[in-house]
Homo-oligomer: A and B are copies of this chain.
Amino acid sequence: MKFEITILGSGSALPTIKRRPSAHFVNCNERYVLIDCGEGTQLQLRKYKIKFQRIELILITHLHGDHYFGLVGLLSSMHLLGRKQKMQIIGPEGLEELIRPQLEIGGAYLNFELEFKALSYPTSEIVYEDNVIEVASIPLKHRIPTHGFIVSEKKRLLSLNKSIFDMHELSVALIPSIREGKDVVLEDGSVIPNHMLTLPPEKPKKYAYCSDTLYRESLIEYITGVDLLYHEATFLDIEKDRAKKTFHTTAAQAGVLAKKALVGQLMIGHFSSRYDDVTEHLKEASIYFENVITAEEGMVVRL
């Protein structure tokens, strides 16, 4: 099973050479999802050699440019590269009306279906579901309507009980069907029941993406126990008044929230361009919560 997040942009409103605007690429058991799409995201996808035509779902948190200015360019390039399969985009009301005219005025009649689903604010609902993943929206508190998202694996496959499997000298070709729950029928017609060959599956993993937002304890009900919480930490705590004024969070506040929500790991990002270095952010969040990492371009986090 694979649940990986690749950081394409860890910066905030002002893109710099070092920190690009927000974009996280999620590969959950070969379901490819993009969360946010700041300017230049298509080149970041190329840089990190992600097969971006396989993205079928794009989630946009809100309509500040550092979270969606790269969307129209990405869709345009997907078209030019011959995309045929549908793309679903889930984001704030108004997004479709900003994107479609830009595609249409250039005469690019897309060869693929583009479906927008508009999120009304503030809601928390299941916004996407297939046999592999489920995505829920969660209301954040920013200057304009903003949602975070939780991407959850539907289920993990059963774990192989290797000692029993080896004892029967079974072919490795049987492993996928065993992990899906099937019994094994031997050549002599006898049956090894599945429960003999397997152990309970690992708990399905959850990834929560929360940017941009004020520190809000009301988030805890949604994110409690997620394996990885990405939470914005635009400022250091010394700038907490500024954070409040601009509806952002400090690194300390992100740490406190992670602790209260009992998450597995905290990743902080959306760093203001005023900081050349984010070591202090890491230190500050770590005071309140042990397992913290800082988002860095190109970094891959495995759940």
Residues of A at under 8 Å CB distance from B?
A: 13-17, 39-40, 42-43, 46-47, 63-65, 69-70, 72-73, 76-77, 80-81, 94, 97-98, 101-102, 105-108, 143-144
A72: which of B69, B76, B80, B143 is its contact (CB, 8 Å)? B69
Residues of B close to A76: CB separation below 8 A: 13, 65, 69
The answer to whether B64 and A69 have CB atoms under 8 Å apart is: no
Residues of B close to A105: CB separation below 8 A: 63, 94, 98, 144
Residues of B close to A80: CB separation below 8 A: 13-14
8 A-B pairs with the lowest CB-CB distances in the bound complex, closest first:
A39-B73, A40-B40, A69-B73, A64-B106, A65-B76, A63-B105, A14-B80, A63-B106
The answer to whether A65 and B73 have CB atoms under 8 Å apart is: yes
The answer to whether B81 and A144 have CB atoms under 8 Å apart is: no
| Docked CA distance A219–B72 (Å) | 32
CB distance from A176 to the nearest CB of B (A): 37
Closest Cβ neighbor of A20 among chain B residues? B43
Closest Cβ neighbor of A106 among chain B residues? B64
Query: Mostly helix, strand, loop or mixed at chain A's interface?
Result: loop
The answer to whether B106 and A65 have CB atoms under 8 Å apart is: yes
A65: which of B40, B65, B102 is its contact (CB, 8 Å)? B102
| Docked CA distance A106–B61 (Å) | 12
Residues of B close to A108: CB separation below 8 A: 65
| Docked CA distance A64–B108 (Å) | 9
- Given A69-B72, A69-B73, A102-B98, the answer on whether A17 and B39 have CB atoms closer than 8 Å is no
Closest Cβ neighbor of A41 among chain B residues? B39
| Docked CA distance A198–B146 (Å) | 65
The answer to whether A42 and B15 have CB atoms under 8 Å apart is: yes
| Docked CA distance A260–B223 (Å) | 68
Q: A14-B77, A15-B42, A97-B101 are in contact. List 20 more A-B contacts (CB 8 A).
A: A13-B80, A14-B80, A14-B81, A15-B43, A16-B43, A16-B46, A17-B46, A17-B47, A39-B39, A39-B40, A39-B69, A39-B70, A40-B40, A65-B73, A65-B76, A69-B72, A69-B76, A98-B101, A98-B102, A106-B144
